[in-house]
Amino acid sequence: MNGKADLHLHTTFSDGVYSPAEIIKKAKDTGLRIVSVTDHDSVSGIEEAIASGKENNIEVIAGMELSASFDDMEVHILGYFMDYKNKNLVASLSGFQEERLKRAKKIVGKLNQMNIPLTIDSVLDHVNGDSVGRPHIANALVDEGHAESYHEAFQRYIGDGRPAYEQKWNFSPEDTVRLIAQAGGLSFLAHPGRSVNEELIFRLIKAGLDGIEVIHPSHGHDLVYYYRGIVSEYCLLESGGSDFHGGERGDDEALGQYSIPISTVEMMRRRLFSN
C-alpha cells in the first residue's frame, strides 16, 4: 500500500510530447508505482504503456480523457479501468476522432481567411497518434513562423474566443459517464477547478459519476479541501495526477509532484468489485 500514483498522463497518441514507453520510464525515475495513460479520446497508447510498465515494474491502469459539453462549456471526464477493446467504446472514440479532424480543418480554414497559409497536412505532420487537436495546430503555426511560441498561437489565434477558434463537438456529460460505465470503467470529473458549478456536479452524480479528480496542478489547497468535502458527502471516489503533457506545456517538473497514494487506487478497485 506504500508508494504513489499519477492517474493523468498524456502521450503522443493525443497531445503529449512523449511516447507511452518514454512516459513510463520518466514515471519510474520519479518513483511512481502506478500510472494511467489518459489520452484525449484515444486508448491506442495503452498496450504500449502496459508492456513498458511490465518491464519497469510499474502498474498501468487503462485510462482516457473524454470531452463533454455543458451549457456551451467544455468539461472533461476521465475514465479508468475500462475494457479498452470494448466495441462500443472503440466505435465511439472513432467518431470522436473524426469530429476532431473536421474541427481542425475548420480552424485551418479560418486561419487561411486571416491570410495565414497553414495547411491541414502540415498540422497532421505533428500528429503521431489518433487524435488531432489545437496543440498540434499551435505547433504547426510555430514551426511555419506564424507564431513565436505555443502560447502565442493560442492567445492570438486558436484559444477560446480567439479569431480562429472553433467549438468542439462533444457528447453530453451524462452520455460520457454512461459510455465509460458500459465499458466496465469508473468515471471521474477531471480538474473541475473554479469553472465547474455544483449543478453540473450533481447532474453527473445522478448519472452515475464515480468520483472527482481532486489533486491537479490547477487546484490550490482551498479547492482540494472543497472537492474532498463533496467526495466525502456523496460517497464518491478521489483521483489525481499531474495532467502531464511535456514539452511546450512547460510541465516536465510536474511529473511526480502531483500524485495520490496507492491506497486511493485500492479504493477504486474495491468500487469496481462491488459493482
What pLDDT was estimated at residue 190?
96
CATH code of the domain occupying 93-158: 1.10.150.650
pLDDT digits over 233-254, tens only? 999 999 999 999 987 655 677 7
Q: Please answer whether residues 44 and 130 qualify as being in contact, where contact means their C-beta atoms are separated by less than 8 angstroms.
A: yes
Name the average pLDDT for the chain.
91
What's the CA gap between 13 and 135, in Å, rounded?
12
Burial class (CB in 10 A: 0-12, 13-18, 19+), 228: middle
Q: Is the Cα torsion angle 242, 246, 249, 253 positive or negative in sign? A: positive
Residue 248 has a pLDDT of: 62
- Domain covering 4-85+173-274 assigned CATH 3.40.50.150 in the classification: no
pLDDT one-digit tens code per residue, 153-163: 999 999 988 99
Spatial distance between the Cα atoms of 116 and 245, rounded to a whole number of angstroms:
27
Confidence of residue 44 (pLDDT cuts 50, 70, 90): very high
pLDDT over 70 (residue 186): yes
Which residue in the block uniquely carries the three cell numbers 513562423? 145
Q: What is the pLDDT of residue 1?
A: 54
Which of 132-136, 187-191, 247-251 is predicted with the least confidence, judged by mean pLDDT? 247-251
Residue ranges of domains in the chain = 4-85+173-274, 93-158
In this predicted model, what pLDDT tens digit does every residue of 63-102 receive, in sequence order? Answer: 999 988 877 778 899 999 999 999 999 999 988 888 889 9
